[in-house]
Every structure is written in C-alpha cells, then in structure tokens.
C-alpha cells in the first residue's frame, strides 16, 4: 500500500510536461585529463579527419593514428603544436594554432602515461600557455554516457542509470558554461570539479546498456516550480540521512533533508579514520580560539558525539561548521563521532560518503533493486521537484 500511495503522489505531483525555453548547447565542451599537465597525447580512430588551423587558414588531412606534441623552445621561451606522423609533410607543422579531429566513430585519446578516453564526437587540440589542452566537443547524450559510467562505476542497475542520466543532464544544463564564463576555452572538466567523465567504456555490453539508459530518459530533466533546472547534486552515500543544501549554500526547496533508510547497510555507509591526537586538538583549539590548557574544551573535542546529522559543532556559544573538519582532515563526510582511542590517536567513527546533498547513489541502487523506478528515485531524493522534458 505505501508503494501505491507513493506512486500516486508522484504521478500527481510530478507528471512530465514539455518545456521549450530551456537553453541546450549544441555541444558540451569538456577538458580531458583536466587533473594533469599534458605535453603529448596519442590519437587513434578509423578515418579521422583533421582540420589544422594556421593563421586563419584551414588545411584538411586524413589520418588513422598520430601523436600531437607541444614542443618547447626554452631559449626563445616559446612553444608550438606539432603533429607527429610519418604520413604528413613536415611543412604542415609550421604555425599551427589549433587542430580539430572528427570521426564517424569513436576517437581514442591517450596520454603517454596510458590514461585513455574514448569519445564519440570531435576533439579540439590547442596550446594553452605552454601545455597541450585537449577539449572534447560532445552532444549531450554522448557526454552523459561517459558521465554515468564514471560516476556510478560498479553500481549497476538500469533504473539507477536512468535516474543518474536525468540528474547529470539537469546538472549539465545548468552548468555547461561553468569554466567558459571564467574565460577558459572549455565549459566543463572531466573531474570532480564538474562531473566525472572518463569517456565511453570499452565493454560493448555495458556501453549498450548505458546508451539505453540515456535514450530512455532523453531530454528529461529535474525542474523547480518555474521549470528551471535545479542544482542536481548527488553523492555516494548519505549514511541514512541527506542534508539540506542550506548547510553549504543558499537553501533550495528541492534540496532538503531526507531520512534515507535505503543508504543503510551499503559498502560506504560506515567508515573509521585514525587521526593524530595532537593535530586534532591543535585544530580544535585554533578554530575555537581556545587555550591549549583548557581541560573542559579538550574533553569536549575528544568526545564529540553526533548520533544524528548536525550542521555545526557548538561549544560555549561558538558555532563552527563540521565541513571545515571534513576539509582539514580529508574525511568521507561531516557525520562523525570522536572516540579518544589512546595517548597518540583519536578515532573518528563516521557515516556516509560525500557532501550528503541530493541523491545517494548507493541508496538509489537499493531503491532500484527494490523495484522503484527512476522517476520515483528522483522524487524521493528531491522533494518539491518536477520532471520536465525540453523540446
């Protein structure tokens, strides 16, 4: 009976409508290998078409395999892009500004260290300062296939994948110019500063299922009451309770705290971490501006308990957000209690993984395995939201 009531409420409150005034970019520009410095990459594909831009002119060539290098002249303090292939005339390498690589199939882009991205779209290569900057130009659906694969990893269920597709599409609609607004020649990165994107998977069966998840949710996004895309945040595991986004930024009606029993008994529900006691005390003394000889504060900071999620730790009327502890000690979450283990260490016993806002991916997997559909998963984690479909 609860399932039927839940389904009725969902269909009544969040029926899908069509909305045409949402801006959808013709392509998503993703900085590949954005967490590292690139001097050379290998590119492979079938029937690759290269457009080589030189001082406003374009030269077109076809190659199946080649390297692109940023060659530095330390004496002149200059660098240039060159194409390393025996199949081209050396004169082509003089004065290259940028290169666009296109293909009807997948383009494989690989660093010299062996890290690769398989992309379906086109690739722009340009020199940025003294390094090589590879930017994938992808359709929304092509981008989402790689995002779902990277973000969910081993979490495998079609309804979970569909929910992630809707959320990641929503996030991209709202943030696709995140970095270009700051003057960069790309909109998004392929790491946690945007959404994780590792290209298309090599496994053909997995790729087919990912394509299906994206296709079945085509053009769907999560909207607020004004039909605008919400800030569709998600994380690995809530530990049993999500948090309101107001703990991190301005409150949103769709990003509120949810009691989440689906995230219990999952691989990342619980965690422990040992921390040097002197470092733990010193940090507490500093941020609360306390004397290191204050026995009352020492006892408090060594025995802090958090049976339910809290935004802040409070002592003597002074409030400090728990997120600063998470950032300082690289904790999995802000939900933890302190155990005074011994003379050398304290042990933090925590719950959840990630910021705790929006969908818990492990909780959503449990929902999918229990028979819930993608739309129901989204409604559970994003109350007061609506599913829309752009034209």
Residue 12 has a pLDDT of 34
Helices (H), the chain: 2-13, 140-152, 158-175, 204-216, 277-288, 295-301, 323-329, 361-369, 374-381
Phi/psi region, residue 284 (left: phi>0; alpha: psi -120 to 50; beta: rest), is: alpha
Q: Among the three residues 138, 154, 170, which one is the final residue of a domain in this structure?
A: 138
What was the pLDDT predicted at 185?
94
Number of domains in the chain: 3
- The pLDDT, as a whole number, for residue 215 is 97
Output the pLDDT for position 95.
86
Note whether residue 49 is domain-resident: yes
Structural domain contains residue 247: no
Out of 120, 138, 156, a domain closes at 138
Residue 264 within any structural domain of the chain: no
Phi, psi of 87 (to 5 degrees): -90, 0
Q: CA-CA distance, 298 to 41, in Å (whole number)?
A: 53
User: What's residue 26's pLDDT?
Assistant: 85
- For residue 15, the model assigns a pLDDT of 41
Q: Is residue 172 part of a domain?
A: yes
- Give the length of the chain: 391
41 and 125: one domain? yes
Do 296 and 325 fall within a single domain? yes
pLDDT in tens, the chain (391 residues): 344 334 434 333 444 444 556 778 889 999 999 999 999 999 999 989 999 999 889 999 999 999 999 887 655 456 788 898 888 887 888 889 999 999 999 999 999 999 999 999 999 999 888 889 999 999 999 999 999 999 999 999 999 999 999 999 999 999 999 999 999 999 999 999 999 999 999 999 999 999 999 999 999 999 999 999 999 999 999 999 999 999 999 988 999 999 999 999 999 999 999 999 999 999 999 999 998 889 999 999 999 999 999 999 999 999 999 999 999 999 999 999 999 988 999 999 999 999 999 999 999 999 999 999 999 999 999 999 999 999 8
The whole-number pLDDT of residue 7 equals 40
Q: From the centroid of its chain, how far is CA 347?
A: 29
Task: With respect to residue 39, please indicate whether it lies within any of the assigned structural domains.
Answer: yes
Output the pLDDT for position 74.
56
Task: Single out the residue in 89, 116, 138 at which a domain terminates.
Answer: 138
Q: Are residues 222 and 80 in the same domain?
A: no
Residue 48's pLDDT is what?
Answer: 94
Backbone CA torsion sign across 283, 288, 289, 294:
negative
Residue numbers of the domain that contains 150: 2-21+141-234+360-390
Residues 78 and 218 in one domain: no
Say what the pTM is. Answer: 0.89
254 located within any domain: no
Order the strands of the 220-223 sheet from edge to edge. Answer: 17-19, 386-390, 220-223
Using CA atoms, how far residue 314 sits from 195, 209, 285, 329, 380, in Å, is 34, 48, 13, 19, 31
Residue 230 φ/ψ, nearest 5 degrees: -80, 170
């Amino acid at each position: 009976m609860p399932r039927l009531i839940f389904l009725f409420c969902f269909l009544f409150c969040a029926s899908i409508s069509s909305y045409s005034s949402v801006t959808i970019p013709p392509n998503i520009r993703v900085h590949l290998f954005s967490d590292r410095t690139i001097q050379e990459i290998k590119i492979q594909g079938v029937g690759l078409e290269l457009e080589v831009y030189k001082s406003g002119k374009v030269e077109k060539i076809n190659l199946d395999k080649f390297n692109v290098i940023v060659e530095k002249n330390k004496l002149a303090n200059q660098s240039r892009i060159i194409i390393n292939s025996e199949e081209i005339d050396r004169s082509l390498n003089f004065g290259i500004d940028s290169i666009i690589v296109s293909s009807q199939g997948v383009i494989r882009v690989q660093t010299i260290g062996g890290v690769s991205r398989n992309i379906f779209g086109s690739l722009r290569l340009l020199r940025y300062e003294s390094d090589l900057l590879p930017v994938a130009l992808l359709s929304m659906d092509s981008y989402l296939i790689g995002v779902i694969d990277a973000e969910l990893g081993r979490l495998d269920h079609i309804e979970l994948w569909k929910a992630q597709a809707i959320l990641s599409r929503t996030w991209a609609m709202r943030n696709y110019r995140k970095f270009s607004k700051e003057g960069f020649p790309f909109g998004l990165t392929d790491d946690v500063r945007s959404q994780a994107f590792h290209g298309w998977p090599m496994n053909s069966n997995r790729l087919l299922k990912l394509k299906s998840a994206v296709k079945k949710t085509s053009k769907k996004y999560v909207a607020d009451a004004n039909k605008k895309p919400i800030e569709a945040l998600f994380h690995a595991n809530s530990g049993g309770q999500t948090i309101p986004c107001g703990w991190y930024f301005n409150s949103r009606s769709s990003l509120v705290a949810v009691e989440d029993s689906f995230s219990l008994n999952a691989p990342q529900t619980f965690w422990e971490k040992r921390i040097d006691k002197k470092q733990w005390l010193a940090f507490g003394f500093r941020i609360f501006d306390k004397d290191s000889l204050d026995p009352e504060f020492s006892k408090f900071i060594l025995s802090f308990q958090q049976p339910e999620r809290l935004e802040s730790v409070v002592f003597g009327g002074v409030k400090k957000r728990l997120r600063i502890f998470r950032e300082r000690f690289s904790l999995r979450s802000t939900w933890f209690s302190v155990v005074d283990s011994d003379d050398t260490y304290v042990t933090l016993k925590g719950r959840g993984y990630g910021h705790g806002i929006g969908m818990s991916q492990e909780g959503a997997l449990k929902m999918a395995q229990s028979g819930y559909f993608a739309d129901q998963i989204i409604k559970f984690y994003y109350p007061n939201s609506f599913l829309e479909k752009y034209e």
